Structure 1
Amino acid sequence: MRNYVIPPNHEGGYIYVALSDIGLVKVGKTRNVSARMKQLSTGSGIVITKVEVLGPFVNYGQVELAIHAKLTSERCSGEWFSADFDTVKAIAIDTSGIGTPGAELVNNDAYRYERVFLWFSAHEEQIKYEQALCEILSDTAINFLKEYGTACAPYVALCIHTMGGVTLQQGQKAYSVYPCGFKESTLDQLREDWNNFADKDIFEDSDFDDFLIDISDKDKFKSEAEEWRTDAINNLFTELTDDYQRWLARRMGEHEHA
């Protein structure tokens, strides 16, 4: 197979139509066709018997989505389709007309504006989400948690929304944080209060330690909260990017049939 590979500093990729030995056809996108075919076969027990490669295209993600949209009724799982290889290939070739040809492959900076805009949009959505989360916290709790890092208050607030309340452990000192409340105490006292007053009907499958967040190591606690925030922003960015690509694919499809 010819070495279909997109250079690291360029945008775009290929569309492949691959026939397996079990008769299913896979349609997907990749920047390295040979590596992708090897990945499909490794450990799966599936053998790829025939491959058609289209492109490269700058907007290969949109081309892939448009092809998948036309094959919806034949979809088995993920990118696998129960259709004749030549039929799928013909659909892929026809649909690839919306693609920006490989001769126009450009450096990633060509789409820098769109990516930066979506990245800032993801940050803005996360900020709004965190503000809504923190409405459950008292001012005392927010001010206390801010000393550990900006991500710590919304991180703890999410835990309270999920569990009803948490205990922040700092050695033998402990802080009970619950909706609009904050109480400083000792770990032993809060554990005793739990054993004496926790509603066993509600918490019958829970233990006091299930609601503990150890903040003794300030850097570790801050790192956990920041990792949660980073993952949330990355997920939002991925969702926004996917939505944007679907919108572009629909627009290109509309122009194609206009």
Structure 2
Amino acid sequence: MPMVLITNDTNHWTWYRGKKGELFPVSYIKDSHYFVADDDGDGMGVHSSDGELLYTEAEYNAIRGQLDQASEHKRFAESVANQKINECNKLRRQHDKAIDDLARHAKELAGLRQERQMLLETIEKAAGEQPLMELPRDVVDALQSFFDDGYDVDHIVKCLLRISSGHSFPRLESIREYAAAHGYEFICALANGYTAEKTPEERLRAKVEELLYKWLDSPVDDAGAEEISQLAGQIVEHAKEITT
């Protein structure tokens, strides 16, 4: 009696779903179907594309071996594919981590740049708010004479270093004496800027203007500031008349 070997069991609507590799006796063949006898005697059909008709055990063993080999190849291919998928997933995770690390470092770098800029602005603001160093008028006049002749601070310092106690340079003398007694103040003045010391009259006038602004206790425009300056000058002149 011929037998049918199920070679394809993937069709969900067949009675031999999940029976791949099993062997069933064939009662008869009709319309490209191999009919397997059932309890009712009607027969259950197996389409010729889903089964292999066998007549000998050798044929069965040969086809069954081919099916087993195909299944083994399929399992091996699936294993290789899964391995490649795992490797791809690992590389993707590494890539995502590298992107995240790069974004984090870029954010940290941007923060450091912002902090640096804020620090520079703070330093510049502090330097701008620092009051100018006051130098004696004779020192300011001596320095200005060098600048008027086209010399810079480097030249003045070189002259100070060359000066000796046995020689006298009138233009440098006042600078040398002040620098010897007030080295830090002199260096700060050259580095950050300076102004001439106010005379007693100028200091009195500045103090009077300060008191007038406090007394007004309100903002003034340029015209108001000019009036305050004139009033302060008149008060100082009047005070000089009283004291002389």
- TM-score interval (norm. to shorter): under 0.3
TM-score under structure 2 normalisation?
0.25
TM-score normalised over the length of structure 1: 0.24
Higher strand share: 1
More helix by share: 2
